Structure 1
Amino acid sequence: MNAAWFRDRRPSRYDLALGLVTGGVIAFNGITGIGLGGVDLRRFDVVGALLVAAVTAATILRRRYPVPTAVTNLTCMLLWFLLGFYGRVILIVPIIVCVTLTIVLGRWSGILAGLLTIGFGTGTIRLLFSDHRFVDYSVIAVLLALSSVAFGEAIRYNLAWRKVMTERVAQLERERDAEAARLVNEERLRIAYEVHDVIAHSIASISVQAGVASHVIDRRPEKAKESLDAIKQTSTEALGELRSVLGALRSQDANLDERHPAASLRRLPELTRMAEAAGLHATVTVLGEPATLPAAVELAAYRIVQEALTNVVRHAHASKVAIQLTYRSDALGITVEDDGSGSGSFGGSGSGLAGMRERARTLGGTFDAGRVGGGFQVACQLPVESR
């Protein structure tokens, strides 16, 4: 149904209050004769009571049935004057009509209601009053209708502005919550990658050393002892680094254990020693002039090399691994290539490669991994700030 005729909005307690007050004031004015006078041709009777009841009901329902109640109110007002009931308080009715239609249906509907009110009002005035009073009352009717429409438009604009502001605040709150959730998720992923890189590399090295010890413990006890010593050293370093990672999550404990410095390329020899302890021949090549890198780039580069070596130890069945760092003014290039033949070079479930790719992507870099020649290669470019 057309919104001008019916709106699915039940009357509120404010509508009820306005309707009762309007009807009560009109009835009081008509019964007692106190207040603004009218044509004074007829005493208040049952017909007057019916008109007041109709005005009251129409005012209460005005926002649910905008046009029907507006027609009812204006008709009742005209009949009130034509039948000669006392009092001009009923002139509040066209004010309510114009204001309501402007707010509910918009500016042009309010203007149309104002014009109709002016037309019917001046016509009634012409029938009831002499020429000199007709001009005065007509001017009053015009000003009353125009001011009612203007007042309704001001209220409509204020309501629309408040609605826009409310929606904007709600949108900002949703965006804030979404951004907070995104940051929390990113931090969870970062922590997960950090812990994964620390644990996976150490466990892989420990697993290899334990296998060697188990294999040679009867024939070469000294070799088994070396492997067990390597396991002890690796586990101690892993625990220390894990404590550093977890300690960094608490600002007051950021320097929880200074014996285990933050992960950076300065600790690259530790990674190669672990790889060699697992039976790999590891080489490191540095191209370009080494320079101080941003902390985020240092950490990402170290973790990428660490995870790549972990994959080689666990999956590649390789004998050699070559690490190459290329320092440029705009980026750091990292390449880790092995000569393995195992299909596991792809990192088992793929979480390791996903972590390396995510680290590079977060810094705006590129990442690529795949088989090359007779082995597997991990290559990435990490952009750095101008130094």
Structure 2
Amino acid sequence: MTLPPADPLTARLSERGKDLAVVLAVAAVVVGGTFWSMRGKSETFWQAVTGWVIIALACGALYFRRRWPVGVALFTLAACAVYYPLSVYDGPVLVTFVIALYAAAAEGRFVAAVAIGVAVMLMIVYGETQQGSDHRHVDDAQFMMLAGWLLSILVLARAQRTRAAYLEEVRARALAAEREQEARAQQSATEERLRIAREVHDVLGHSISLINVQSSAALHKLGKKRTTDDPVAALATAEAALEAVKSTSKDALGELRSTLGMLRGAGEAAPTAPASGLAQLPELAERARSAGLDVRIVTQGGARELPPPLDLAAYRIVQESLTNVTRHARATAATITLDYGTDDLRLRIEDNGAGAPDGIGGGSGIRGMAERARAFGGELTTENTADGFRVMARLPFETNQGAR
């Protein structure tokens, strides 16, 4: 149940319009009833003027019943107490007090409204005891009816107050649920954006790093062609490097299409290329070898089929590690160790490069790998070694996370 919040200005105008409508409606009833009661009766000019002034004041006071509910109830009660002994016509001015008493109870002044109602009944009892038995204005039946009317008014007002509080609570809950839903949607959008950014970074970062190394090697060989005694061999080496650039760029485009395929609209065909995973590690190692890095893959424990999200995360961690080795480490060799345990997969990527200056990997690549590991309830650590740099990751097999 969704209840949108009302505009404050519109709400104020609506309440003022309702208050004015109540005043006009009650005034019409009181004035009409007073004219009806004037049949066959007469009173002095000043009695008539005073009576009509009291009627106008009592009806007009109802406009402020929301702002000062108890005060308006007491004022209309006082107006009735003055009007009825003074006027000969006995018009229905009591209606103003009834409306004011209802408003006081409905606005949350229930105790005060009950006290006023009890005081009215006591005043009537006292007034009747001061009259002789032959001059009573309110007999027993009328007294019981009046008491019943006052009780009914208070009960109805209480019910209205309870209903208004319930609707307000429902509105507050609906608004809270809507805000929570918006916050969740925004959080989901942010997580999806970060996930896509991480995928694109890993795919393009690795391939472009290799292309940069391979193209630099090709340019270097082409430059040596002009000065070397064996230009044919230099040209052949440059050609091999360019072939590696071509192959790497082709693989990069394939992986990029696969990544962008996750963003396809409804009804579009799913990508036909196989999803990246540890099964593609040999190709990944071969591309790194073409950039001059001697990569060795070691498998320990019984290899097992991994869930696609976990398989992709493991592959991306290895891929980003090789990217960092190629780009920053100035290494010549790297070893990838896959250790299949009972409960988790442990990855270890070691190189013989320069290592990190402070022993801790920085940049978005290391953060992205750590986020992937944490998404599956695992962890990732990096450290310098005596021979270079080491990345270690633990990815649990059973986890409720990492569905994304």
Give TM-score scaled by structure 1 length: 0.88
Cα distance per residue 1:260-284 (max 9 Å; x no partner): 3111111011111122112112111
Of 304, 315, 318, the match for 1:291? 304
The match for 1:92 is 95
What SS is found at the alignment partner of 1:99?
Answer: helix
Query: Is residue 33–residue 87 contact of structure 1 (8 Å, CA) maintained in 2?
Result: yes
Cα distance per residue 1:235-281 (max 9 Å; x no partner): 0110111111112321544533x3x3111111011111122112112
Residue 328 of structure 1: CA displacement? Answer: 2.6
Distance 1:141 1:335 in 2: 90
How many residues align? The count is 373
Distance 2:95 2:29 in 1: 10
Residue 18 of structure 1: CA displacement? Answer: 0.7
Query: Is residue 331–residue 352 contact of structure 2 (8 Å, CA) maintained in 1?
Result: yes
Distance 1:129 1:365 in 2: 95
Of 277, 283, 292, the match for 1:270? 283
- What amino acid does structure 1 have at the position aligned with 2:385? V
The unaligned stretches of length 5 or more in structure 2 are 1-11, 229-233, 400-404
Structure 2 vs 1, CA of residues 324 and 212 (structure 1 numbering), >3 Å: closer, same or farther?
same
Choose 376-385 or 245-254, whichever is displaced more. 245-254
Cα distance per residue 1:288-341 (max 9 Å; x no partner): 211111111011111111111101110111122111112233222112122211
What SS is found at the alignment partner of 2:237?
Answer: helix
Residue 287 of structure 1: CA displacement? Answer: 1.7
Distance 1:132 1:73 in 2: 20
| 1:31 is aligned to 2:35 | yes
Structure 2 vs 1, CA of residues 314 and 54 (structure 1 numbering), >3 Å: closer, same or farther?
same
Query: Is residue 295–residue 334 contact of structure 2 (8 Å, CA) maintained in 1?
Result: yes
After TM superposition, list the pairs within 5 Å mapping 1:1-387 onto structure 2: 12-33=16-37, 45-87=48-90, 89-126=92-129, 130=133, 133-217=138-222, 218=225, 219=228, 220-250=234-264, 252-256=267-271, 258=272, 260-343=273-356, 350-385=363-398
Distance 1:14 1:341 in 2: 80
Distance 1:107 1:285 in 2: 81
Distance 2:92 2:258 in 1: 82
- What amino acid does structure 2 have at the position aligned with 1:18? V
What SS is found at the alignment partner of 2:297?
Answer: strand
Identity value in percent: 35
Query: Is residue 115–residue 145 contact of structure 1 (8 Å, CA) maintained in 2?
Result: no
Structure 2 vs 1, CA of residues 195 and 129 (structure 1 numbering), >3 Å: closer, same or farther?
farther
Structure 2 vs 1, CA of residues 287 and 377 (structure 1 numbering), >3 Å: closer, same or farther?
same
- What amino acid does structure 1 have at the position aligned with 2:247? Q
Choose 345-354 or 151-160, whichever is displaced more. 345-354
Cα distance per residue 1:39-76 (max 9 Å; x no partner): x8957711111111111111111111222212111111
Distance 2:218 2:286 in 1: 17
The two structures, once aligned, show a CA RMSD in angstroms of 2.6
Distance 2:125 2:49 in 1: 27
Distance 1:345 1:278 in 2: 26
